Amino acid sequence: MNALLSTALWVVGKALAPVADGVLGDWDSSKNLGLNVEALGTELLLVKATLETASRKHIGGQAMKELLWKLRDSASCAEDLLDELDYFRIHDELHGTYDAADHHAKGGVHDLALNARHTSRAVLGLSSAATPAEPGQVLEGARQRGVCCGWPRARQRSRGISSSTSNANQADEEKVSGCMSKLGKLLPRSSSPHVHDDNSGQSTHGAPQREHSQKTPLLGFNRVDVSERMKHIVEQLQPVRREVTKILQSCDRITVPDIAQSRPIATGQSIEPKLYGRDHIVNTIIHDMTKGKYHSKDLTVLPIVGPGGIGKTTLIQHIYRSKEVQNHFQVVIWVCVSLSFNLNKLLEDINKYIPPVEGEKGNRPEELIEQRLKSKRFLLVLDDMWECSNEDDWERLLLPLKISQEKGSMILVTTRFPAIAQMVGSTDHSIELKGLEFEYFRELFHAFVFGDDQRRSDHIFLLETGDKIMVKLKGSPLAAKTVGRLLRKDLNFRHWRRVLESKEWESQTGVNDIMPALKLSYDYLPFELQQCFLYSALFPEDFKFSSGYLINFWIGLDILQTDPQNRTLEDTALSNLNDLVAHGFFIEEESYDSPWYVMHDLLHDLALQVASHDCISLHRSNVGLVHIQPSIRHLSIIIDDDDAVSHENFKSQFRKLKTRLKVKQLHTLMLFGEMDESFANILGDLFGEANALRVLHLVNMPTSVESMLNNFSALVHLRYLCLGTKYGREMHLPLAISRFYHLRILDLGQWYGSCDLPKDMSSLAKLRHFYARSDELHSDILNVGKLILLEELKVFRVNKESEGFEPKQLGH
């Protein structure tokens, strides 16, 4: 519930962003939309206040969850609408147009014609591809939508103008009004926004066709439609917000939940009688402590680090209980630190384990520890250490422990986080636990499934399926335990096959099961890091990515919070990536030039689980089986080489997605793998209405993006565009790119096609990165000085003879 509240608050905050600085509101007030924007902004603020109140209350239950989901979904619709409105604000500023205005600079008949066009769109719903509407259809459409076709009355409703206008204006209005029966036959149906193609020979305003060859499609603005949509969203938000408020009034104030309460507390006694595949590590640590390199040193701190469920605590328990260790150390102490590093409590717990000495004085734990350990060699285990935000507290903990005059005292620390291991370790390295090698893991897995009896020989037919399951568990002992118990319930092929195909272990909820153990690490993350992690569910398993790739992805998703220290988005994203590595969610792999990052398969499963309401990843084996939540807004399609599902069946299942997936609300569409022409056509048909996309990632395409997405020009929300083709296949750069005013990342990758840039590329005022196979493309950007957020410009050629390529372009 807390995660849902945080997400809902975050979405509402994003929806409010376009109106927060007042720029959009000031512009809207001149377009006769100000009151509607103000009403929507006010309602969003009320929703935000309600959610903030909910975060301080004790709430629960499925019904409340559904209400919060409704608030979040309506807030997402508001975000889309206000973002669209901001798009047309930018368009008017860039081009000096009045397409979104309520009045024209020249006034009079221009003003009336402008409003006639807006109202006609509202009546008809324009579309350049549809058939013309008959006058009767015009009138019927007006009745159904509540829009009056008499233009003077429409003006009165939209602007509050009296019907007693001047004679001249009345004459002008009559001229416009008299033309509407003809316009009714000419204006086709559509929904906002509407695409106008310059190639038709007419601009939005009836201006002549542009002279240069690179003509960019223009989008028309439907003020009446936008106004109605804003009112509709407010009407959706109000009743749900009021009901949530009523419920909250009867709820008690909540105390902040302590997720440590659900943590099983480990002791020095292991419940696993045998340790599989770790004998070498155990023997090495015991030897180094009792006879080797730590034996003659002062106090040594040795961290053991690894992800949840990898067996850190079990390893230390076997070391702690060994006869060599018990005989070597005069005092052995086991303390479970868990999620909160409380110095005073830790000192008290340590003191309880140490026998009193004769003549000790004082009653403070640190004083007693000093006196009791002064002449003793000791082993202290600090198990499951999650944090130590104050390094001074760590040093204060060590002070009474360093008093011991005996050589060879040890502190063993287990932690999930490499950053903690680096901070506390006093050796040149820590012990990093990874998954068990397959041979040992198989032995452990079978022990959990079959126990010590001889049933394994009776079920040889299951072992092949068991091996396929083990591959997915990546050597995690806790995963072996979780899945082994699940399989042991029913030793038949059908049950084991179902567990394999559905990954049934993900739904196990016991505190000692693998997914709850991993989710605890996720719950512990700050909200922004949770957001950055969960969208990794869209990547394929074992997908390797660079830091730049992931940072651009996060920027495109618009999930990075503004930094109070005025760091760039890139710096904030890199800091988040480093934090996720430090928390063990991404693994850094060194390469010859720059590091690559990858996710453990089980953590990828966790991402799919925590993102299940927002994200879905479809591939051959699951496209027809997976449940698609109605709230899904982020989709990836993975075209793999799974022979279990035929290519034709894969396509057939995709054709049916229209009935299961709300395409209009998608914010992300990512494609991994290669597709053929027929699959490209299926995608084009499926995503013809995906106008709300923020992230579009299409590589290895056999055709142009414009032929695959016939609404490409209408993607007014786009932030991140990554395009590419199959090797050797040429494509032309879509001219509509220069109209994506919100675009922040343009990645053409290994584009092999023609890349003549549109002349108005400088309209992309929010562009931060432009990647292309040829750096020379950077030199083709006319008036590049307008792109003040661009982080890098690879090539710039001064051309004093050509306007737009002067040295002053490099001023910012």
Give me the phi and psi of 364, to 5 degrees please.
-75, 140
Q: Residue 549 belongs to what H/E stretch?
A: helix 547-557
Which pLDDT score is estimated for 403? 83
CA distances from 334 to 51, 408, 413, 545 (A): 42, 17, 10, 40
The pLDDT of residue 810 is above 60? yes
Q: Phi and psi dihedrals of 72, rounded to 5?
A: -65, -45
User: Which burial class, exposed, middle or buried, applies to 281 when counting CB atoms under 10 A from its CB (0-12, 13-18, 19+)?
Assistant: middle
Provide the sign of the torsion angle of the four alpha carbons 478, 479, 485, 491, taken in this order: negative
DSSP state string for 302-364:
EEEE--TTSSHHHHHHHHHT-HHHHHH-SEEEEEEEET---HHHHHHHHHHHSPP-TT---SS
> 3-state DSSP call for residue 795?
coil
pLDDT of residue 36: 75
Cβ neighbours of 758 (radius 10 Å): 22
Mean pLDDT, rounded, of the chain = 76
803 pLDDT more than 90: no
- Which residues have C-beta within 8 Å of that of residue 244, sequence separation ≥ 6? 50, 54, 64, 67, 68, 71
User: Is 617 in a helix, a strand, or coil?
Assistant: strand
- Residue 753 pLDDT > 60, yes or no? no
Task: Note the CATH number of domain 438-510.
Answer: 1.10.8
C-alpha to C-alpha distance for 270 and 514, rounded to whole angstroms:
18
What single string gives the DSSP state of each residue in 359-405? T---SSHHHHHHHHHTT--EEEEEEEE-----HHHHHHHHGGGTT--
13 alpha-carbon distance from chain centroid: 16
Min mean pLDDT across 145-149, 374-378, 401-405, 518-522 is at 145-149
DSSP string, 721-760: EEEEESTT---PPPGGGGG-TT--EEE-TT--S--PPPTT
- List pLDDT tens digits, range 606-635: 899 889 889 999 887 777 778 888 889 999
Half-sphere exposure of 216 (CA within 13 A, CB side): 19
In terms of average pLDDT, the best of 266-275, 473-482, 708-717, 760-769 is 760-769
Over residues 48-65, the pLDDT tens digits come to 888 877 777 667 777 888
Residues whose CB is less than 8 angstroms from the CB of residue 113 and which lie 6 or more positions away in sequence, other chains included: 104, 176
Mean pLDDT of the region 720-736: 73
User: Beta-strand (E) ranges in 407-473?
Assistant: 410-415, 431-432
pLDDT at 665: 92
- Residue 714 has, within 13 A of its CA and on its CB side, a CA count of 21
Q: What is the CA radius of gyration of the chain?
A: 32
pLDDT in tens, 579-593: 898 888 888 887 767
* Structure confidence at residue 524 (pLDDT): 78
What span, in angstroms and rounded, lies between the C-alpha atoms of 770 and 521? 36
As a whole number, mean pLDDT of residues 137-146 equals 33
Helix, strand, coil in percent for the chain, rounding step 5: 50, 10, 40
Could you list the beta-strand ranges (E) of 508-628. 587-589, 596-598, 615-619
Q: HSE-up of 366 (CA within 13 Å, CB side)?
A: 11
Same fold for the pair 438-510 and 525-609: no
Query: Which residue in this structure is represented by tokens 């595949």?
Result: 277
Q: Are 309 and 479 in contact (CB under 8 A)?
A: yes
Task: Please say whether the beta carbons of 722 and 740 come within 8 A.
Answer: no
Give the span between the Cα atoms of 373 and 464, in whole angstroms: 55
Q: How far is Cα 134 from Cα 20, in angstroms, rounded to an integer? A: 43
Residue type, 13: G
Q: For the chain, what are the domain ranges?
A: 2-97+229-249, 108-226, 264-432, 438-510, 525-609, 612-810
- Count other Cβ atoms within 10 Å, centred on residue 246: 9
Q: Which residue has the tokens 């009296």?
A: 162
Is residue 78 classed exposed, middle or buried when 0-12, 13-18 and 19+ CB atoms within 10 A define those classes? Answer: buried
Distance CA 349, CA 347 (A): 5
Write the DSSP string, 83-136.
HHHHHHHHHHHHHT--TT-SS-TT-HHHHHHHHHHHHHHHHH---TTSPPPPHH
Question: d(Cα 698, Cα 669) in Å, to the nearest integer?
Answer: 8
Note the pLDDT of residue 102.
Answer: 47
What amino acid occupies position 194? H
Pick the CATH number of 264-432 from 3.40.50.300, 3.80.10.10, 3.40.50.970, 3.30.420.40: 3.40.50.300
Q: The domain 612-810 is classified under which CATH number: 1.25.40.10, 3.20.19.10, 3.80.10.10, 3.30.70.260?
A: 3.80.10.10
- Within a 10 A sphere around the Cβ of 374, how many other Cβ atoms? 13
pLDDT of residue 632: 92
pLDDT 10s digits, 92-138? 888 776 655 444 445 444 544 444 454 444 444 433 333 333 333 33
Model pTM greater than 0.85?
Answer: no
**pLDDT, tens only, 336-356:** 887 778 888 899 989 988 988
State the architecture of 525-609 in CATH terms: Orthogonal Bundle (1.10)
Query: Which phi-psi region, left, alpha or beta, contains residue 728 (left: φ > 0; alpha: ψ -120 to 50)?
Result: left
Q: How far is CA 734 from CA 215, 673, 723, 778, in A?
A: 10, 22, 10, 17
Cα angle vertex 518, ends 516, 521, to 5°?
A: 110
Are 346 and 335 a contacting pair, CB within 8 Å?
yes
Token pair, residue 278, equals 């770790």
Per-residue exposure over 403-412, b if at least 16 CB sit within 10 Å of its own CB, e if not = ebeeebbbbb
Give the pLDDT mean for 83-93.
86
